[in-house]
């Protein structure tokens, strides 16, 4: 595995593979890697000749009161994991050269950035879109891999690539969970032992919605209220949102119709730690 910091050096290194028509799979991350990230890497390995992973804690997607400074980092361990997964290139850009002092361009996917996480994190998806389009311009992958855990991010990036005619396929991989159902996340390390015990209840509450719909409950407003109540009853948890939305538009649904694809999503705080989770289902 080659570890590259410099943008031009990475472009140069990838050029020869492109000239040979080799396919490139790309997995952007913020590091502190876990099995969720590695499942994306595994899929990229299976489907491409060359795999590029990036590790970059992108300051543009953190609000002023968010955890940019204390976001967990362990580059040595990440490097070992990626080497073990037979990744070809690890791109670790340096913040100052990636965003020089006079950097002034941003990209925004208007509608999809607003609901759900966009309400409490108004600058987040603009920051994501900007870093992703910049990384795509550098790596020029055939396939970009993103996780369902950040479903809204996936939808924003999918639209970004479509709207700006970028020649990359965007692929979503399922959420990888701990045995007790908690979605793997770099932020899980912030949880205290007590919070860690409560955290798997998020996923269980989401699955309850699915069960209710299967049993014939078809009033999304009531289902959402029930989900909110259930989440709020978890000790130590503060609810940001719990919503049932159309999986394509991320807009609230008023009536459930047959075969409709839904996203049931929530964001919660345990102390200062913000966790998100979601499930996709078909009515």
Question: Which residues would be at the binding site for ligand AMP (CB under 6 A)?
Answer: 29-30, 36-37, 39-40, 146-147, 149-150, 173, 175-176, 183-186
Q: Which residues have a Cβ under 8 Å from the Cβ of 146 and sit 6 or more positions away?
A: 28, 40, 153, 154, 157, 170, 171, 172, 173
Nearer to ligand AMP, 40 or 231 (CB): 40
Percentages helix, strand, coil for the chain (3-state, rounded to 5) are: 40, 20, 35
Nearer to ligand AMP, 112 or 146 (CB): 146
Nearer to ligand AMP, 29 or 224 (CB): 29
Q: Is the dihedral of CA 122, 126, 129, 130 positive or negative?
A: negative
Tell me, yes or no, if 37 is annotated catalytic: yes
Kindly state the smallest distance separating residue 254's Cβ from ligand AMP, in Å: 29
Kindly state the smallest distance separating residue 184's Cβ from ligand AMP, in Å: 4
Kindly state the smallest distance separating residue 29's Cβ from ligand AMP, in Å: 4
Nearer to ligand AMP, 117 or 223 (CB): 117
Place of tokens 């269980």: 204
Nearer to ligand AMP, 73 or 226 (CB): 73
- Nearest residue to 116 (alpha-carbon basis) of 277, 226, 5: 277
Q: How far is CA 49 from CA 3, 41, 146, 195, 270, in A?
A: 18, 12, 18, 42, 41
Kindly state the smallest distance separating residue 162's Cβ from ligand AMP, in Å: 17
Crossing angle (nearest 10°) for helices 201-214 and 220-232: 160
Report yes or no: 50 and 23 within 8 Å, Cβ to Cβ: yes
Q: How far is CA 139 from CA 80, 131, 151, 162, in A?
A: 22, 12, 22, 17
| Phi, psi of 7, deg, nearest 5 | -60, -50
Kindly state the smallest distance separating residue 74's Cβ from ligand AMP, in Å: 12
Measured from the Cβ of residue 163, the count of other Cβ atoms closer than 10 Å reads: 12
Nearer to ligand AMP, 199 or 213 (CB): 199
Pairing of strands 143-147, 24-29: parallel
Using Cβ positions, the residue closest to ligand AMP within the complex turns out to be 147
Kindly state the smallest distance separating residue 183's Cβ from ligand AMP, in Å: 5
Q: Which residues have a Cβ under 8 Å from the Cβ of 215 and sit 6 or more positions away?
A: none
- Residues labelled catalytic: 37
């Amino acid at each position: 595995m080659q570890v590259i910091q410099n943008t031009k050096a990475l472009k140069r290194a990838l050029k020869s593979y492109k000239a040979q028509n080799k396919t490139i799979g790309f997995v952007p991350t913020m590091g502190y890697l876990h099995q969720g990230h590695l499942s994306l890497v595994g899929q990229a390995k299976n489907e491409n000749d060359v795999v590029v992973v990036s590790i970059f804690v992108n300051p543009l997607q953190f609000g002023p009161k968010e955890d940019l400074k204390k976001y967990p980092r362990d580059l040595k361990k990440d490097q070992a994991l990626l080497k073990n997964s037979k990744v070809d290139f690890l791109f670790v850009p340096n913040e100052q050269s990636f965003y020089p002092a006079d950097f002034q361009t941003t990209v925004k996917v208007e509608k999809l950035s607003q609901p759900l996480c966009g309400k409490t994190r108004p600058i987040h998806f603009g920051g994501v879109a900007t870093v992703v389009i910049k990384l795509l311009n550098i790596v020029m992958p055939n396939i970009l891999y993103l996780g369902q855990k950040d479903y809204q991010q996936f939808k924003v990036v999918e639209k970004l690539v479509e709207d700006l005619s970028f020649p990359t396929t965007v692929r979503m991989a399922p959420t990888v969970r701990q045995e007790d159902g908690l979605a793997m996340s770099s932020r899980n390390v912030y949880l205290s032992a007590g919070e860690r015990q409560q955290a798997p209840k998020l996923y269980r509450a989401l699955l309850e919605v699915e069960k209710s719909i299967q049993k014939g409950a078809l009033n999304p407003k009531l289902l959402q209220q029930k989900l909110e109540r259930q989440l709020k009853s978890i000790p130590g948890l503060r609810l940001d949102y719990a919503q049932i939305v159309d999986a394509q538009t991320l807009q609230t649904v008023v009536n459930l119709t047959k075969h409709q694809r839904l996203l049931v999503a929530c964001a919660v705080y345990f102390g200062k730690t913000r966790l998100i989770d979601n499930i996709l289902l078909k009515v």
